[in-house]
Amino acid sequence: MRINCITKFILAVVAILFFQSCEKDDNIEPTVSQTTLDASNIKKAVPSYSLSNWMGAINKNVSLSELSIPGTHNSGARFDHSILLGTAKNQKLTIREQLNSGTRFLDIRCRHINNIFTIHHGSVYQKLNFNDVLNDCFNFLNSNPTETIIMSVKEEHDPSNNSRSFEATLTSYINQNRSKWYLGENIPKLNSVRGKIVVLRRFNKRSNTPKGINATNWKDNTTFTINSANATLQIQDKYKISDKNNKWNRITSLLRAAKNGNSNTMYINFASGYKPGWFGVPRIPEISNYINPKISSYFRNNTSGRYGSIMMDFATASRNKLIIKTNF
């Protein structure tokens, strides 16, 4: 009889401990691994992800500044000058294909004409309008609600026949689908912007309302820092390149800074550029053909850490995958 009492007591204790354990497990978010998150693995969540939903595998409390993010330079520029080849085309993939291939930072250059935005690289119209870009972005985010898209918005080429400001026209686009935009001036945490476009503002605004992370103090053809009350950005955008090795050194210098620097700083690293040819005519492929294989090699050897946003010409899924992998 005494043995039975003891046995019952032990079983009762085991049952209590078991149910307490279950209650703790129920409080764990299903997207977060059972491993305790600390400063060294805070980005890790679950090991499985695809290029179309890799942000869904990132812990919700991570800031966008803490990630390695594949980006594209002049994201809508898929068409060259009709005569001067190699001077205007920066991408082979469409916006939709870029997003499905893991790209999460788009560089959108808008010409303001007739109170709408058309997509340009310099004077070359890219057979694309801003609504086309937004439709691709919204369709992607609706299908992949765990993701976010950082969008740099810059005014390009000469404005023509407008009755309102560049900012007012952008606002008219935003108001068509207001819930899909993040316009704050702070660098947000991922969970607060899933399913949204995060604006990086490269245009002057007239209103007092926020229109995105402020990057208006953009320096020309160099490496620089933008400090504002709400965000700090470190940017490498040396685009006129006479020495390809010097450009590569600038890229790797910012990659190292991103890995070891302040987690609240957003690092934006342009792997793009052109080499001036005869009469200064740009030769874009000469730089991308040299830099892109080096980026792939770099991330085959550096497989873990925070490297910031890498803005590439002629982005590919395979190169994006190497960058994304460093988050895990």
In a domain, 203, yes or no: yes
CA atoms of 2 and 7, how far apart (whole Å): 9
In a domain, 34, yes or no: no
Nearest Cα to Cα of residue 311 among 215, 228, 243, 170: 215
Tens digit of each residue's pLDDT (9 = 90 or more) over 125-175: 999 999 999 999 999 999 999 999 999 999 999 999 999 999 999 999 999
- How confident is the model at residue 114, as a pLDDT? 98
In a domain, 151, yes or no: yes
pTM, two decimal places = 0.86
* Per-residue pLDDT band at 279 (split at 50, 70, 90): confident
Nearest Cα to Cα of residue 59 among 221, 241, 191, 250: 191
In a domain, 108, yes or no: yes
Extract the tokens encoding 209. Answer: 């309302």
- How confident is the model at residue 47, as a pLDDT? 58
In a domain, 241, yes or no: yes
In a domain, 93, yes or no: yes
Q: Which residue has the higher pLDDT, 210 or 19?
A: 210
Tens digit of each residue's pLDDT (9 = 90 or more) over 4-56: 444 444 444 334 333 333 333 333 233 333 223 333 444 555 558 999 999 99
Burial class (CB in 10 A: 0-12, 13-18, 19+), 44: middle
The DSSP 8-state label assigned to residue 231 in this structure reads -
% of the chain at pLDDT higher than 70? 86
In a domain, 278, yes or no: yes
- What is the domain-level CATH number for residue 307? 3.20.20.190
CA atoms of 99 and 46, how far apart (whole Å): 21
* Per-residue pLDDT band at 327 (split at 50, 70, 90): very high
Give the range of the structural domain holding residue 175, as residue numbers without chain letter: 66-325
The count of structural domains within the chain is 1
CA atoms of 15 and 275, how far apart (whole Å): 71
Q: Which residue has the higher pLDDT, 2 or 311?
A: 311
> Looking at this protein, which amino acid is placed at residue 318?
S
- State the chain's mean pLDDT as an integer: 89
- 287 to 221, 238, 240, 244, 325: CA distances (angstroms): 15, 12, 10, 7, 25
In a domain, 3, yes or no: no
Three-class HEC string of 97-158: HHHHCCCCEEEEEEEEECCEEEEEECCEEEEEEHHHHHHHHHHHHHHCCCCCEEEEEEECCC
Neighbouring residues of 44: CB distance < 8 A, sequence distance ≥ 6: 33, 35, 37, 59, 327, 328
Nearest Cα to Cα of residue 56 among 158, 148, 118, 160: 148
- How confident is the model at residue 38, as a pLDDT? 37
